[in-house]
Structure 1
Amino acid sequence: MDMTGTERIEAPIGTVWLALNDAEILRQAIPGCETLDKSSDTEMAATVVLRIGPIKARFEGAVELTNLNPPHSYTIQGEGKGGIAGFAKGGADVSLAEDGPDATILSYTVKADVGGKIAQLGGRLIDSTARKLATQFFNNFGEKLRSPALAPES
């Protein structure tokens, strides 16, 4: 599965960059995320519960940030195992560009692969679920940045 998109976020580029590297903000923004623990500046462990069609699974996995170019871009790669439901692995190239002094354009290119029972559900269901989750993530992420209590300090 491949997916690309752009989102306009109502926050300066430095604030968006900090939030993209803040485990607590990410945990709250990722749909179904139960835990997201940072083990280093570039590595995190996550537990996420997702429902894809009739299958609900808890995925446990690792996430790594590479190709860091603060505050403009990075690559996020991860792999999660969901027991008998299967696995998911992939990555995203994320880039940020200023859109005036108080907004940022976030662009992403995602490549992902799934296996096991989840893969048997069919590409259209998996793609539509992935797009729905991406929309939820960006809505949640933007909301967190608009909340002064949660937004990282620049």
Structure 2
Amino acid sequence: MEFTGSQTIAAPRELVWKGLNDAAVLQACVPGCEAFTPVSEDEYAAVVVASVGPVKARFKGTLVLSERIELEGYKIVGGGEGGIAGFGKMTATVTLADADEGTLLTYVADAQVGGKLAQIGSRLVTSVANKLAAEFFKRFNANISEAVVK
């Protein structure tokens, strides 16, 4: 399942880029994130609690940032296991561009699920995945915009 979105962030591109590479900022923006620990410069171990329809699970997995082009964007590859609930995998490309009001952040993501999550139905899973991605970038926007005001 593929989904896309964009946010115009009222901040200079340098500040947005810094936030995209800050573990504390990323953790604060991930809905249901219980832990977000650096493993290396480009990899993080994460624990996220998510609900999809009747299935609620704690997913343990990793997030890897790659193909970084400073001030322009990067690729995110993540995956997690939720025990009996199943697994999730996601790849996203995040790009930055100048906008009249600050910085335009655009993402294109592809997600896959297996196990019980896959049995729930693709329409519901796609809706929840899209909602989680949108919530992440909404929180990111608020976090970075707030930093500009301070």
* Count of matched residue pairs: 149
AA of the residue aligned to 2:119: Q
1:104-119 correspondence to structure 2 within 5 Å: 104-119=103-118
- The percent of aligned pairs where both chains have the same amino acid is 45
| RMSD value, Cα | 1.5
Deviations 1:97-122 (A, max 9, x none): 0114x611111110111000000010
Cα separation, 1, equivalents of 2:94 and 2:122: 24
Cα separation, 2, equivalents of 1:15 and 1:24: 14
**CA contact 2:7–2:138 (8 Å) conserved in 1:** no
1:1-150 correspondence to structure 2 within 5 Å: 1-100=1-100, 103-148=102-147
Comparing 140-149 and 88-97, the one that deviates more = 140-149
Alpha-carbon distance, 1:147 to partner: 2.5
- Structure 1 outlier segments of 4+, above 6 Å: none
Gapped regions of structure 1 (runs ≥ 5): none
TM-score, reference length from structure 1: 0.92
AA of the residue aligned to 2:98: E
Gapped regions of structure 2 (runs ≥ 5): none
Cα separation, 2, equivalents of 1:18 and 1:129: 28
Cα separation, 2, equivalents of 1:138 and 1:148: 15
